């Protein structure tokens, strides 16, 4: 029997098992056949040993010829029985020999198969151990390479942090110099104001001295006039009353009492100002208004009271004139204003959206090319964030500058405002914020999904950002640059916050709109000088005549 070989010369155990089962079945069949032949032989022997009729009886009954036939039959039966026994014994011996041979051969082959299986298992175990050792060595090598790469990335991050620190320190140095310059300007203004205050105090003291010496001068002048006047008889009391025009003297009013109290307070203030000028900050007193002439001559007392009242109002701080409330726009006027704003911004917004989408496509191609050139690296390790931000900022700067110029023209068309040009640094800040928003959002979207093919993740992220998301972000950035131009054009004037008529405003926008006009550049209650105050904010600012 030939068997199929498996595993370097070994026999197929299924074929060996099948052959052994066939041999077992054949031996079982032969043993069954031997038992049947033995049963037949035993029955024939029993019948031959116990015949029913003897030969004499058969001979007498059947005759000589029948007896001869019967003897022949008995002889033939004996011969067949002997041959059957001999054949059964021979078959039994052959079956036992064949079974023993098959059993020995099966045992030998089973032993050979087991030995070969043990040898193969030992060889496979040895090969597995060698492969495991090779994998461990490879893992150690890869780990060392990854650690070196992480160290290099850490050094690069430290270098970037150092560069950012230097940039921040340079920025702080510039801001400190600017603050020092502003402090010097404030000091000069303080000195100038102190000089004006000193001059005002000296003038006030001179006026008070003149008031104190006026009585003495008048008395001296009267004495001199009387001395130079020729002597004349003194008039009687009736003559004086008849020749002197009299006027009614009003009773003392609360205003006069208030004026007297104010005069006392002013005198105390002036005295304290003269004694300690460094601790007081006197206000500039406006020049006194001329006293009304009632036709009866100059009333010195009324003039003094008028001056005292006016000085009291100035000293206590007269209430500022009430600012006229900003006129509210009707629905049609507001819709028309925002229609003009959107029309002025439409062209630059379309250009900005187109350029940013093109920059997104270029950025996606660069990212995919880096992934193809370095398959083992992740998307976050391939692209420099600063270069990515610069790409978007450069793509958006020109369109944002056009939007700011449109805002300047809008302010001129609305109110004729031509205050100042747009500061390029503020425009750079708008472009930088816009670029940082896109770059950080893209990186977060790519790194967040850590499963799957890196190229598929990159394509999904950029495909998502080329849709409505980047259009909304471009709209917010364009509106910010547009309102930057409006605020620059309204420099020296005032701006009024107008909420969008499309939908109910948020609480922050409503508070800024309710605050009224503010000087251009000054922040509204929300902390921003102009909208948008949040993502998707469609509010605007318009210049007004004054704050």
DSSP 110-122: HHHHHHHHHHHHH
Distance CA 114, CA 16 (A): 13
Distance CA 375, CA 301 (A): 99
**pLDDT (0 to 100) of residue 57:** 64
Distance CA 440, CA 370 (A): 19
Residues 425-442 as b/e (b if ≥16 CB within 10 A, e otherwise) read eebeebbbebbebbbebb
How many C-beta atoms lie closer than 10 Å to residue 298's C-beta?
9
Q: What is the DSSP letter of 436?
A: H
- Phi, psi (rounded to 5 degrees) for 320: -65, 150
**pLDDT (0 to 100) of residue 445:** 79
Distances (CA, A) of 268 to 7, 46, 264, 273: 120, 166, 6, 9
The answer for 230, left when phi > 0, alpha when psi is -120 to 50, beta otherwise, is beta
Residuewise pLDDT in 10s, the chain (547 residues): 787 777 766 788 888 888 899 899 989 999 999 999 999 888 888 887 876 666 666 566 666 676 678 778 888 888 888 888 888 889 888 888 988 888 898 888 888 898 888 888 889 989 999 999 999 988 999 888 899 889 989 989 988 888 888 888 877 877 777 777 678 667 777 777 887 788 888 888 778 777 767 666 766 776 666 666 665 555 555 554 454 444 444 444 444 454 445 445 544 444 444 444 333 333 333 333 444 344 433 444 455 555 555 555 554 444 433 333 344 566 677 888 889 989 999 999 999 999 999 988 888 888 888 777 765 555 455 567 888 889 899 999 999 999 999 999 888 888 777 777 888 899 999 999 999 888 888 888 777 766 667 778 788 888 888 788 889 999 999 999 999 999 998 888 889 899 988 778 888 888 988 888 988 888 898 888 888 888 888 899 998 865 4
The pTM score is 0.42
Domain ranges of the chain: 5-154, 331-544
**pLDDT (0 to 100) of residue 325:** 39
List of residues 6+ apart from 282 with CB closer than 8 A: 197, 200, 201, 204, 269, 273
CA atoms within 13 A on the CB side of 459: 8
CB 366 within 8 A of CB 383: yes
- Phi, psi (rounded to 5 degrees) for 541: -130, 145
SS (H, E, C) 152-190: HHHHHHHHHHHHHHHHHHHHHHHHHHHHHHHHHHHHHHH
Q: What is the DSSP letter of 491?
A: T
H or E stretch at 5: strand 5-6
Q: Which of 487, 505, 523, 540 is nearest to 337 (CA)?
A: 540
SS3 of residue 496 by DSSP: strand
Distance spanning both ends of the chain, measured CA to CA:
114
Pairing of strands 5-6, 518-519: unpaired
Token pair, residue 534, equals 């949040």
Helices (H), 453-530: 454-464, 470-489, 507-514
Distance CA 108, CA 104 (A): 6
Token pair, residue 267, equals 């005198």
CB 490 within 8 A of CB 419: yes
Cis peptide bond N-terminal to 532, omega within 30: yes
CA dihedral 135, 141, 144, 149 (to 10 degrees): -110
Distance CA 72, CA 90 (A): 26
- Phi, psi (rounded to 5 degrees) for 296: -110, 15
Distance CA 275, CA 205 (A): 12
Distance CA 71, CA 77 (A): 10
CB 403 within 8 A of CB 485: yes
SS (H, E, C) 52-90: CCCHHHHHHHHCHHHHHHHHHHHHHHHHHHHHHHHHHHH
């Amino acid at each position: 029997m030939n068997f199929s070989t498996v595993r370097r010369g070994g026999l197929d155990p299924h074929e060996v098992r099948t052959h052994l089962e066939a041999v077992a079945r054949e031996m079982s069949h032969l043993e069954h056949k031997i038992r049947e032949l033995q049963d037949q032989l035993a029955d024939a022997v029993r019948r031959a040993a116990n015949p029913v009729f003897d030969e004499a009886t058969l001979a007498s009954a059947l005759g000589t010829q029948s007896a001869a036939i019967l003897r022949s039959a008995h002889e033939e039966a004996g011969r067949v029985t002997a041959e059957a026994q001999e054949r059964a014994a021979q078959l039994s011996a052959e079956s036992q020999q064949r079974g023993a041979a098959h059993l020995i051969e099966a045992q030998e082959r089973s032993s050979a198969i087991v030995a070969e299986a043990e040898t193969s298992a030992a060889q496979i175990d040895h090969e597995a151990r060698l492969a495991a050792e090779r994998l461990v060595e490879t893992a150690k090598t890869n780990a060392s390479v990854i650690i070196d790469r992480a160290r290099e990335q850490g050094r690069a991050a430290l270098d970037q942090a150092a560069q950012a620190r230097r940039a921040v320190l340079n920025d702080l140095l510039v801001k400190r110099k600017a603050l020092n310059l502003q402090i010097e300007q404030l000091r000069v203004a303080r000195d100038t104001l102190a000089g004006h205050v000193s001059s005002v105090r000296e003038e006030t003291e001179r006026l008070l001295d003149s008031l104190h010496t006026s009585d003495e001068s008048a008395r001296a002048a009267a004495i001199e006039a009387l001395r130079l006047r020729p002597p004349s008889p003194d008039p009687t009391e009736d003559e004086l009353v008849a020749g002197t025009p009299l006027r009614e003297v009003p009773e003392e009013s609360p205003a006069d009492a208030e004026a007297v109290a104010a005069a006392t307070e002013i005198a105390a203030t002036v005295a304290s100002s003269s004694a300690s000028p460094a601790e007081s900050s006197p206000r500039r007193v406006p020049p006194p208004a001329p006293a009304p002439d009632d036709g009866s001559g100059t009333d010195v007392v009324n003039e003094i009271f008028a001056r005292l009242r006016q000085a009291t109002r100035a000293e206590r701080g007269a209430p500022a004139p009430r600012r006229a409330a900003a006129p509210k726009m009707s629905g049609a006027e507001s819709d028309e204003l925002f229609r003009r704003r959107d029309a002025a911004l439409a062209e630059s917004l379309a250009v900005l959206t187109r350029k940013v989408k093109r920059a997104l496509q270029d950025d996606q191609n660069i990212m995919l090319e880096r992934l193809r050139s370095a398959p083992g690296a992740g998307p976050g390790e391939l692209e420099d964030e600063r270069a990515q931000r610069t790409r978007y900022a450069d793509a958006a700067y020109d369109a944002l500058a056009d939007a700011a110029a449109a805002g300047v023209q809008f302010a001129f068309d609305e109110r004729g405002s031509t205050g100042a040009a747009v500061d390029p640094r503020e425009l750079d800040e708008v472009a930088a914020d816009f670029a940082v928003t896109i770059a950080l959002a893209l990186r977060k979207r790519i790194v967040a999904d850590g499963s799957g093919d890196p190229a598929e993740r990159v394509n999904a992220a950029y495909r998502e950002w080329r849709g409505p998301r980047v259009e909304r972000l471009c709209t917010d950035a364009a509106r910010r640059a547009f309102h930057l131009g409006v605020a620059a054009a309204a420099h020296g004037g005032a701006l009024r916050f107008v909420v969008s008529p499309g939908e109910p405003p948020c609480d922050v926008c409503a508070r800024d709109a309710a605050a009224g006009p503010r000087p251009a550049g000054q922040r509204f209650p929300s902390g921003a000088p102009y909208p948008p105050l949040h993502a998707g904010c469609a509010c605007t600012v318009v210049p007004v005549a004054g704050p």
